[in-house]
Amino acid sequence: QKEVEQNSGPLSVPEGAIASLNCTYSDRGSQSFFWYRQYSGKSPELIMSIYSNGDKEDGRFTAQLNKASQYVSLLIRDSQPSDSATYLCAVMNTGFQKLVFGTGTRLLVSP
Amino acid sequence: DAGVTQSPTHLIKTRGQHVTLRCSPISGHKSVSWYQQVLGQGPQFIFQYYEKEERGRGNFPDRFSARQFPNYSSELNVNALLLGDSALYLCASSQGPSGVAGDGYTFGSGTRLTVV
């Protein structure tokens, strides 16, 4: 079992729709969860972090965390073509100070 | 304020050679981590340094080594390069060791290493 799992996609949504990206993790001791966006050929850019169960909203982005189900998700409302990128889920266990990344989900937003 | 800076941006090396990659963290950040990202995969953890001490090491061979300097900049060294070492090498900085303070890691633009 991979430590952090994501569907590789591509996830295709039309402009203006809601994109839903999902991630599961295996380490129950994980404390911090992050979503990074990575454009082709570029480095990852932090877009959301979440530490407590529930929802956290920031503009068009909402991160959701369910520690009991070991599940993290990212919703992107009013998707734009500029949102087309690979979205990386990353999980950190504070016992060992490293980020464990999933393989990423490629999102394609069509005009 | 400057972000995380990495040099060089691109590098081509021959198998068996040695390479040194450099990273300067965001001002005030004391933690530097190194990640390797192979095409189509997520970044893989190599090392973390905090206050000049190694805090963690990923599952990489001893050919990989790193250090952090008093000004918190860092070097990643790779000896006896293999074709499989071709990847994007990312440096990330954070204020504290856990990455939670300051809300996560900030990545530099990376060094694209090609081994031929």
Q: Is B35 on the interface with A (CB under 8 A)?
A: yes
Find all residues with CB under 8 Å of A72, minimum gap 6, and list them: A22, A23, A24, A25, A33, A35, A50, A63, A64, A65, A66, A89, A91
Cα–Cα distance measured from residue B29 to residue B7, given in angstroms and rounded to the nearest whole number: 18
What residues in B contact A99, CB-CB < 8 Å? 33, 35, 43, 45, 92, 99, 105
By C-alpha distance, the chain A residue nearest B39 is: A41
Cβ B107–A43 below 8 Å, yes or no? yes
Q: Which residue has the higher pLDDT, A93 or B103?
A: A93
**Confidence (pLDDT) at B102:** 46
Judged by DSSP in three states, B2 sits in: coil
| pLDDT 10s digits, B64-88 | 999 999 999 999 999 999 999 999 9
By C-alpha distance, the chain A residue nearest B34 is: A98
Per-residue pLDDT at A94 exceeds 70: no
What residues in B contact A100, CB-CB < 8 Å? 45
Instruction: Point out the least confidently predicted range of A96-100, B50-54, B92-96.
Output: A96-100
**Span A33-45, mean pLDDT?**
95
**Span A37-44, mean pLDDT?**
95
Q: Is B49 on the interface with A (CB under 8 A)?
A: no
Share of chain A above pLDDT 90, in %: 81
Per-residue pLDDT at A55 exceeds 80: yes
pLDDT-derived band of residue B104, with 50, 70 and 90 as boundaries?
confident
**Span B28-39, mean pLDDT?**
93
What residues in B contact A88, CB-CB < 8 Å? 42-43
- Chain B interface mutation, best of A99, A101, A105, highest count of B Cβ atoms under 10 Å: A99
Find all residues with CB under 8 Å of A36, minimum gap 6, and list them: A44, A45, A46, A47, A87, A88, A90, A101, B107
The whole-chain average pLDDT of chain B stands at 92
| pLDDT 10s digits, B8-30 | 999 999 999 999 999 999 998 88
Cβ B100–A43 below 8 Å, yes or no? no
**Confidence (pLDDT) at B105:** 87
> How far A23 CA lies from chain B's nearest CA (Å)?
13
